[in-house]
Amino acid sequence: MKRIALIALAIVAALALPEAQTEKLDFATIGRIKDEGLNRSQVMDHISWLSDVYGPRLTGSPAIQQASEWAMKKFTEWGLANVHQERWKFGKGWSLVKLNVTMVEPQVQPVIAYPKEWSSGTKGPVTADVVRVNIRTEADFARYRGQLRGKIALTQPARVVRMYEGPNILRMDDKWTAEAETTPVPAPATGRGAGGGRGAAQEFRQKLEDFYVAEGVVATFDRGSDSDMAAAGSDLTWQQQHPDGGTVFPGGSYARDENAGKNVPGLTLAVEHYNRMMRVLDKNVPVKVELNVETKFYDEATMNGFNTIAEIPGTDLASEVVLLGAHFDSHPYATGATDNATGSAAMMEVMRIIKTLGIKPRRTIRVALWGGEEEGLLGSRAYVRDHYADVETMALKPEHAKLAAYFNSDNGTGRVRGVWMQGNLAVRPIFEQWIAPLRDLGVTILGPRSVTSTDHLSLDNVGLPAFQFVVDRLEYNSRTHHSNMDTFDRVQRDDMVQQAAVIAVFAYEAAMCDEKLPRKALPAPQRGRGTNPSADR
């Protein structure tokens, strides 16, 4: 009897499986989407407006507000509905007003440099001697007390700059494609001893900044990463950063709370220019720099955080939502072109394509351009908290049950090669059917692993089906990501046209299929995660 029951159960499961996995694809509409997306794309114009005209788009700056107003105007012109901003607390805003860094002795040289975010200014042009400072512990304070007033401090040793090694341009060949379709075994966690770790480091850093202020230091200079081959990337660490060749990757930022602006100005220099100053000082030859840093702070009431939202209403399943997202903000070191005007423009172009073709989606297709991603996924976390769930208690809101899928784009200017499935293996048979008509565009990868460090994680953390696209990294890690080289000129037109067209097909399929995408098990409450927004960065 037990055997008969098991056989019957297996037959029922076998009969149910094809129905659950079979998608009814409208190839005619998919063809129209591809035609509009590939042959009449406006994605590069969107990117140029967001980067050339409004970049950089640091959260809390006038530029990101202007960029949002432009995007909302475009959404309205295209006929999208419910176009608005949703605001959340962020802290003080900041923008760079003016910068001039010139070595004037022993010879004149314009210096490639950029202030750290939320840095104070110099209150006008100053000319100051440059000195080396090596403070690693509180015991070192005594060596420099009374020695630094009116000086510019070089805070790191020189670093050897080597020739480039390894891939500088990364396209996913067969080797990388095979790796993307595996799930690696995580390395064992390494704990921190009592009294050590991030908290102690942050406490010492604050004491050091207070010391510089008390000693009357004019500014601090650093040259960025200790290695010109530092590992980078949020998923596969195939490619290395190259903080040389005039490429600057400033690291860290200052307070944006009530202590904003109380530090001395802090700047990151191109390593070649930094090293030159160090070598000259080693010869006991004085170095002088003319410096003018002008920055501006904005009160929370004037410039706070926000997300930019718009949608195409659905028809018979209008209460269910397909959410598309990309972070709208950028670091202020360049114009935020590949990080992430590209992703934002792709999602805008998806909405334009679907609206232009007069497609009537069953589900509502909503786009969210997130703020505050660079500070710890703040915009998407706020949206999840307000609409879907409290990550700390896992208390669900009604909209949680209505989200059909979330798709995110945030890895630069490369073409879409597939989707990271975020450990949600139940979506594989569905996505396999969705990518079938996209294989001619190079979409082949269904990566099983969970990736982090961008906004889909905010939704994944509360059990929603949220996915990041696999894209060719190109120069993203090696040159443009969080650097002064993140400009429109690094954007690859053909790849971006493909990216927007592919995502438009995914959005359409998710909006038209009979069922919402499968979900993983609901996570347990994550106490402390809601109050530590940088935990996954």
* 468 and 401 assigned to the same domain: yes
CATH code assigned at 406 = 3.40.630.10
Tokens of 92: 């003080």
191 within domain boundaries = no
* 337 and 434 assigned to the same domain: yes
* 280 and 399 assigned to the same domain: no
Q: Report how many domains make up the chain.
A: 2
> Who contacts 35 (Cβ-Cβ below 8 Å, separation ≥6)?
none
* 81 and 98 assigned to the same domain: no
* 83 and 97 assigned to the same domain: no
401 within domain boundaries = yes
SS3 content of the chain, % helix, strand, coil (to 5): 35, 20, 45
* 246 and 335 assigned to the same domain: no
520 within domain boundaries = no
Closest by alpha carbon to 339, among 267, 407, 414?
A: 414
CATH code assigned at 204 = 3.50.30.30
443 within domain boundaries = yes
521 within domain boundaries = no
Torsion angle defined by CA atoms of residues 376, 412, 230 and 537, in that order, rounded to the nearest 10 degrees: 10
* 315 and 285 assigned to the same domain: no
pTM of the prediction? 0.91
Query: Which whole-number Å values give the CA distances from 517 to 16, 27, 119, 231, in the listed order?
Result: 16, 20, 44, 34
**Domain that residue 454 falls in:** 32-90+304-512
For residue 410, pLDDT over 70 is answered with: yes
* 393 and 506 assigned to the same domain: yes
Residue that finishes a domain, picked among 296, 315, 341 = 296
* 236 and 175 assigned to the same domain: yes
358 within domain boundaries = yes
Residue that finishes a domain, picked among 267, 296, 325 = 296
293-342 per-position pLDDT tens digit? 999 999 987 778 999 999 999 999 999 999 999 999 999 999 999 999 99
351 within domain boundaries = yes
342 within domain boundaries = yes
**Whole-number pLDDT of residue 5:** 41
Q: Are 21 and 425 in contact (CB under 8 A)?
A: no
Q: Are 419 and 450 in contact (CB under 8 A)?
A: no
* 283 and 374 assigned to the same domain: no
**Whole-number pLDDT of residue 474:** 87
* 276 and 409 assigned to the same domain: no
> Who contacts 42 (Cβ-Cβ below 8 Å, separation ≥6)?
349, 352
Give whichever of 81-90, 221-230, 472-481 has the largest mean pLDDT: 81-90
* 350 and 482 assigned to the same domain: yes
For residue 535, pLDDT over 80 is answered with: no
88-141 per-position pLDDT tens digit? 999 999 999 999 999 999 999 999 999 999 999 999 999 999 999 999 999 999
Residue that finishes a domain, picked among 296, 328, 349 = 296
**Whole-number pLDDT of residue 372:** 97
